[in-house]
Structure 1
Amino acid sequence: MKLFSYLNKKKKTSYKCDCCGIDYGEIPLCYGADYPDFYFSIPPEERNERIELKESLCVVDKKHFYHRGKLIIPIKNYSEDLIFNIWTSVSEDNFGKRMDL
């Protein structure tokens, strides 16, 4: 619950990322991966040939289909939401319907 008490008081606290070392002026509220996990199972030298990647979709070998969506969680008494970017595997039929819409 420390995150919520921080947000309610709106203190200015910096946050340093353990992975990249970047020092942020405030706690980040958006999390997610740039690629679906399956992306990393393809050798790096083959990715350009085997993977079609756009901002919110990914196709691997023309048989594995992924869509990226956002899970948005409102935070009470705060002006911003907590956001998770999530990759999901979808069937080829549903992927086609998504592209048609």
Structure 2
Amino acid sequence: MPTETGFTCTCCGEYHPETPMDFASPAPAYWLPGDEHDPDSLLTDDQCVIKGDSFFVRARVEIPVVGRDTVFTWGVWVSLSAQNYARAGELWETAGRESEPPVFGWLSTELPVYTPSTVNLRTMVHTRPVGERPVVEIEPTDHPLAVEQRNGITMERVREIAGALLHPQG
């Protein structure tokens, strides 16, 4: 979802006509090259199983943008217990599933603009209506991602994140 204006990138110095308001990871941090050939592994747009014993759903970490009626979104993967993953699957197409209580999960995506690592941050996963990805609530700690989710970020910070992700340092 772009904003109404672009930005001059501090990484490349060029003007980008739109400010990206979301970034997503294609797979959990634990998905390795070759896992797609394992008969007990599966990766779809919304669900992942690795070797039949690690279970993940794609979700959203939403960060309020200060002074705006919008959020910046990280598309992330969160690990769930086998029981919670099975329950999510049972309710995948069920109207009213958003009334389910939130479940515990481990953040399973490395968001490269944060130090320390975001992998294995404790979360609560909130199911949304059918057709919407779950929303992740990061445990309220002093980790920079948790702080940003609690306090929000400025558009300047959004542009800083965009520049870093559009032009990763090798």
TM-score, shorter chain, exceeding 0.5 = yes
Quote how far apart the aligned CAs of 1:16 are. 8.4
State whether structure 2 residue 61 is matched by structure 1 residue 71. yes
| Distance across 1 between alignment mates of 2:87 and 2:65 | 33
Number of equivalent positions: 86
Identity %: 20
| Distance across 2 between alignment mates of 1:16 and 1:53 | 35
Q: What secondary structure is seen at the aligned counterpart in 1 of 2:83?
A: helix
Larger Rg: 1
Selected match of 1:32 from 17, 24, 47:
24
Letter in structure 2 aligned against 1:84: W
Query: Under a length normalisation based on structure 2, what TM-score does the superposition of the two structures give?
Result: 0.42
Verify the 8 A CA contact 1:15 1:25 in the aligned structure 2.
Answer: no
Which structure shows the bigger proportion of residues in helix conformation?
1
* Structure 1: tracts of 5 or more residues without a match: 1-6
Quote how far apart the aligned CAs of 1:89 are. 1.0
Residue of structure 1 in register with 2:6 after alignment: 12
Change in Cα spacing, 1:48 to 1:17, as seen in structure 2 (3 Å) is farther
Quote how far apart the aligned CAs of 1:77 are. 3.9
* Structure 2: tracts of 5 or more residues without a match: 92-170
Query: Under a length normalisation based on structure 1, what TM-score does the superposition of the two structures give?
Result: 0.66
Residue of structure 2 in register with 1:47 after alignment: 36
Letter in structure 2 aligned against 1:78: R
